[in-house]
Each structure stands twice: as C-alpha cells, then as structure tokens.
C-alpha cells in the first residue's frame, strides 16, 4: 500500500515537472516573417567557414577558415551556380609569416574583425598574436610580436610586448578607432588602439570638402585677377580724376601714386596669392 501511494506521488511529481516545462514553452514568442537561406556551402567550396563578415566597400564576404588558416573573399550572393569565384585573400598554409599576400601564414586563427577601410585584424590563436591584413593584402603583426608562441599571458602595454590567452574574440570600434579584445582565457576585455590611418576612410566627403575649398580658392583668385583686368583701363582713363581718390581709398593696402600702378600691383598681388 505504501509503495502504491509512493508511485502516485511520483506520478504527480512528474506531472508537475511537465507542467513546469510547458510553462517555460509558453513564454516562447515565435515571431514570423524571417527566412533562412544558405549563402556559402563550405563542402562545395572546399573551405571551412568559422567566421564571416561583410567586406567594406564591396559586395563580397570575408570568410575566416580557422582549420585551413586562411581568409577568403566570396562574392555575395555567389552568382548562379558558379563555385570557382572564391578567392584566397591571405594564408592557406599553417605557420607564422608576415609580408606580401600569398606568402603570409597563420596558425588556426579563431576570430577576425574588419575596419571601414578594409583592413582585416586576425586573432591568430596558434601564434598568440594579433595580425593585420591591409586592404591590399600585406600582412603584419600588430600585437604580441615579441612574445609570440612563447607564453600566453595577460600583459598590457606596448602592443608588441603584450601577451594574450589563446582564446580571443575581436571587434572593431569605429568611433574609438580601436579593436576590442574579448580575452576569454584571461576573463578580460582589452583594447588595442589603432592608428588614425587605419581608421581614416578615404571618404568622398573629405575629398569633396577639399575640392570645394580648392575650387573656392581658385574662384577667388580668378575673380581678383578679372577684377584687376576689368578696372585697370577704367582707372587708366580716369587717372587724376575724382575716381582715383575713391579707388585709392579702397586700396589702402597698396599705397601707389597712380591708379594704373595700383591695379598693376593689385594684379601682381593676386598672382602672388594664387
């Protein structure tokens, strides 16, 4: 009899557990309207995507293949059924070597970040360093270079002397011009300040501002020259007349005897400035 009531108690216990899990399910909100598609099939492309990022100023994707120690660019979307469009951007052979595109080697990189200029920063796990692949493809070590592979650690300071745990995640922070490093192995979040030239976008707005400034300068020069040419005969004609006094007053900075001399020196002045 006792065992029977125990069984009944057990039944209610599990019933309650079930109700509790139903309660959890009831809190799930299934929001419709989203779609999933596969855009890169690593089996077909012969790569092993570990991380992916959009490549700035391009429609390509950057794909980090950790096991292949390589970074690829892949058009997005891949046109038609073409699979030969994938390009190796850097790496491909395991090792540690900086330099020109093609000769660079990484060792099981685990995370990467990209700045608006197209520089790719790679947490090179196997070498315990942080690397930079410039937009043109040349590779350098920006942090951990002195201590690489020798010892993991948590040393801050000049970046080449810094040490990291092998388990890093990188993020680019545009308004700080910096890399944030989730140093998981050390339970730290760290920051690497980047150089202004790493972050400076060769933006059309900056170019635009410069060309507007140059245009303004050119127009003011031209205007000054034209003004000089236009008023010179007028002044010559009126040399000694009442006009001269007014123009002389207007050209206080050019203390000359005659109007002719004034405009000539005005022209010279303009030409010097332009």
Ligand X SMILES: *[C@@H]1O[C@H](CO)[C@@H](O)[C@H](O)[C@H]1NC(C)=O
Q: Which residues bind ligand X (CB under 6 A)?
A: 146, 157-158, 161
Q: What is the rounded distance in angstroms from the CA atom of residue 59 to the CA atom of residue 134? A: 18
Closest approach, Cβ 149 to ligand X, in A, equals 14
Closest approach, Cβ 143 to ligand X, in A, equals 12
Q: What is the CA radius of gyration of the chain?
A: 35
Taking the least distance from each CB to ligand X, the nearer of 107 and 148 is: 148
The DSSP bridge partners found for residue 52 are 63
Taking the least distance from each CB to ligand X, the nearer of 76 and 146 is: 146
Helix (H, G, I), strand (E, B) or coil at 6: helix
Closest approach, Cβ 128 to ligand X, in A, equals 15
Closest approach, Cβ 150 to ligand X, in A, equals 10
Taking the least distance from each CB to ligand X, the nearer of 68 and 144 is: 144
Closest approach, Cβ 163 to ligand X, in A, equals 11
- Give, in degrees to the nearest 5, the angle at Cα 233 between 232 and 239: 85
Taking the least distance from each CB to ligand X, the nearer of 100 and 156 is: 156
- Give, in degrees to the nearest 5, the angle at Cα 204 between 71 and 195: 55
Closest approach, Cβ 157 to ligand X, in A, equals 5
Q: What is the rounded distance in angstroms from the CA atom of residue 264 to the CA atom of residue 63? A: 66
Residue with tokens 């790493």: 198
Taking the least distance from each CB to ligand X, the nearer of 128 and 270 is: 128
**Does residue 61 contact residue 42 with C-beta atoms inside 8 Å?**
no
**Does residue 238 contact residue 259 with C-beta atoms inside 8 Å?**
yes
Taking the least distance from each CB to ligand X, the nearer of 21 and 161 is: 161
The alpha carbon torsion through 244, 249, 254, 255 (nearest 10 deg) reads 80
Task: Name which of 107, 194, 196, 93 is nearest 148 in CA terms.
Answer: 107
Closest approach, Cβ 199 to ligand X, in A, equals 25
Q: Which residue is nearest to ligand X (CB)?
A: 161
Taking the least distance from each CB to ligand X, the nearer of 95 and 158 is: 158
- In 27-97, which residue ranges form alpha helices assigned H by DSSP? 42-45
Structure tokens at 54: 């959009």
Question: Residue length, the chain?
Answer: 274
Helix (H, G, I), strand (E, B) or coil at 83: coil
């Amino acid at each position: 009899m006792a065992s029977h009531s125990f069984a009944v108690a057990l039944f209610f216990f599990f019933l309650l557990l079930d109700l509790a899990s139903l309660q959890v399910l009831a809190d799930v909100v299934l929001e419709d309207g989203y779609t999933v598609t596969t855009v890169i099939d690593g089996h077909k492309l012969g790569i092993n995507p570990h991380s992916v990022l959009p490549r700035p100023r391009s429609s390509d994707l950057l794909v980090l293949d950790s096991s292949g120690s390589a970074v690829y660019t892949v058009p997005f979307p891949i046109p038609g059924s073409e699979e030969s469009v994938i390009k190796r951007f850097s790496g491909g052979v395991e090792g540690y070597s900086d330099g020109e595109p093609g000769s660079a080697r990484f060792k099981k990189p685990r995370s990467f970040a990209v700045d608006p200029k197209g520089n790719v920063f790679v947490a090179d796990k196997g070498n315990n360093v942080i690397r930079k692949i410039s937009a043109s493809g040349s590779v350098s070590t920006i942090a951990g270079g002195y201590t690489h592979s020798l010892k993991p650690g948590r040393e801050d300071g000049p970046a080449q002397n810094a040490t990291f745990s092998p388990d890093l995640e990188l993020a680019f922070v545009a308004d700080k011009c910096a890399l944030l490093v989730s140093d998981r192995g050390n339970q730290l979040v760290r920051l690497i300040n980047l150089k202004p030239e790493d972050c400076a976008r060769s933006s059309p707005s900056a170019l635009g501002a410069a060309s507007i400034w140059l245009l303004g300068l050119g127009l003011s020069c031209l205007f000054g020259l034209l003004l000089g040419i236009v008023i010179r005969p007028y002044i010559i004609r009126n040399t000694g007349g009442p006009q001269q006094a007014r123009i002389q007053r207007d050209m206080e900075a050019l203390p000359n005897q005659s109007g002719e001399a004034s405009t000539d020196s005005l022209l010279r002045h303009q030409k010097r400035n332009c």
